[in-house]
Amino acid sequence: MNIMILSVGTRNKIVQYFKRTLLGVGNVIATDASPLAPALYEANRYYIVPRITEEGYIDKILDICKREQIKGIFSLIDPELSLLARNNNRFIEIGVTVIGSSIELCEMSLNKWKMYQWLSSHGYNCARSYIDKTRFYDDVELKKMFYPVFVKPIYGSASVSVSKVYDRETMETYWRHSKELMIQEFLDGQEIGADVYIDMISGNVVSIFTKKKIAMRAGETDKAVSFKDKKLFQLIEQFVIEAGYLGQIDIDIFEVGGDYYISEVNPRFGGGYPHAYECGCDHMKLIMNNLSGISNKKYIGAYEDDVYGMKFNEVVTRRKVNIL
Ligand SMILES: Nc1ncnc2c1ncn2[C@@H]1O[C@H](COP(=O)(O)OP(=O)(O)O)[C@@H](O)[C@H]1O
Ligand SMILES: [Mg+2]
C-alpha cells in the first residue's frame, strides 16, 4: 500500500512516521514544487511537480498516483486542501482516497470570517469578530468591545500580519494598508492545540491529543505540554462531528476563565503533530487502517499527559539538486 504526501516542504517527521508505519507493506511518495524541500529526501521516492496554481497540476498528480499505485493522498499546505477536495471524484475513479474534509469545510476553515459565523451561529464560544470597522467602533462606543483587540487577514496563516491593536489610530493605519481584515476580541488566556483524527469510514472522532502551548515561533508551537480534560474532549468531539470534518485536523483553542473558545481549524496535519505522535497518538496507523477498509476504534485521550514537546532544527545536505 503506497501513500502520497503532497507539498511536503519541511515536514520531515510526517514522512518518517509514515515510512515507519508502512515498513514492509508500502512506500511513501513525496512531492513538492521545490527541489530544496528537505522532506522530499526522506521519502522512498519523490517528484518535483509544478506549482499547485499551474494548469494541469492535478493531471500530473493523477499520473503519478497511477504510476506509483497510490492508495491514499493528502497535502500538508492549506491552499491545496480545497483543490484536492474539489477533485475528489477524479481520485476515486483511479482508486485513490483523498484523506481530508469536504470542499465546503476546507474553504470555511481557510476563511476566518466564515469560521466565526459558523461557530457563533452554532452556539460555540469564540472570539467576537468584525469585518466592518464602523460596527466595531460603534460597539466600542457602546462598551460592548474593548481594546486591545486582534487584527488579522481573513485568509491568513502562520501568524503573518496578526497584530494586537491598542487604539483607533493604529487600527486606521492597518486598514489603510490592507484589505480583507478582521477585528477580533482579545482572548486573554491559555492557548491550546488539538490534533484530532476523525475516522474516514465511521465518521467518529477516534483520537484526540491536546497540549498547552508554552512558546510560539514563526506562527508555530515551539514548546508545549500535553494535558487531558474530559470537558475539552467532549467539546472537541461535539464540534468536529457537528461541523463534519474527516481525517486529520488541527484545532486552535483558548482557555479563558475556565471556558474553552474555539479559534481556528486547519484540516490537515498541523506543524505541531510530532508532539502527539511521540506521546503515543499514531494517526498514521489510523489512516492505514482506513485505507485498508478497517474502521478504527474510539481511543480518545490514549496518550501520556505532562509530556513536554520541544522543537529543534535539523539540516539535510545533497551534492546534486536539479534546480529548475
Ligand atoms: N483573538 C485573539 N486573542 C488572543 N490571541 C490571538 C487572537 N487571535 C490570534 N491570536 C494570536 O495570534 C496567533 C495567530 O493567529 P491565528 O488566528 O491562529 O492565525 P494563523 O492562521 O495565522 O495561525 C495565535 O496563535 C495567537 O497566539
Ligand atoms: Mg493559528
Residue 37 scores a pLDDT above 90 = yes
What mean pLDDT comes out for the span 103-107?
A: 97
Pick the residue whose CA is nearest to atom 16 on ligand 1: 159
N-to-C CA span, the chain:
31
Where are the domains positioned within the chain?
Answer: 2-98, 128-185, 189-310
Give the residue, 173 or 161, on which the prediction is more confident: 173
Q: Give 189-310's CATH code, choosing from 3.30.470.20, 3.90.1170.50, 3.40.50.2300, 3.30.430.20.
A: 3.30.470.20
Lookup: cell for 320? 546534486
Looking from the CA of residue 149, the nearest atom of ligand 1 is 1
C-alpha cell at 155: 485568509
Task: Locate 130 and state its grid cell.
Answer: 468584525
pLDDT above 70 (res 323): no
Predicted confidence (pLDDT) at residue 324 exceeds the cutoff of 60: no
Does ligand 1 have an atom closer than 6 angstroms to the CB of 274? no
The per-residue pLDDT for 257 is: 95
Closest-CA residue to 182 (of 104, 126, 248, 225): 126
Mean pLDDT confidence for 293-298: 98
Percent above pLDDT 90 for the chain? 94
Q: Is the CB of 252 under 6 A from ligand 1?
A: yes
Q: Mind listing the pLDDT tens digit for each residue in 300-320?
A: 999 999 999 999 999 999 988
Q: Element (H or E) spanning 29, and its range?
A: strand 28-32
The CATH classification number of 2-98 equals 3.40.50.20
Pick from 183, 167, 177: nearest CA to 116: 183
Which of 115, 120, 125, 159 best tests ligand 1's pocket when mutated (most atoms within 8 Å of CB)?
159
- Beta carbons of 32 and 7 less than 8 angstroms apart: yes
Task: Summarize pLDDT for 239-281 with one digit per residue, the tens.
Answer: 999 999 999 999 999 999 999 999 999 999 999 999 999 999 9
CATH superfamily, domain at 128-185: ATP-grasp fold, A domain (3.30.1490.20)
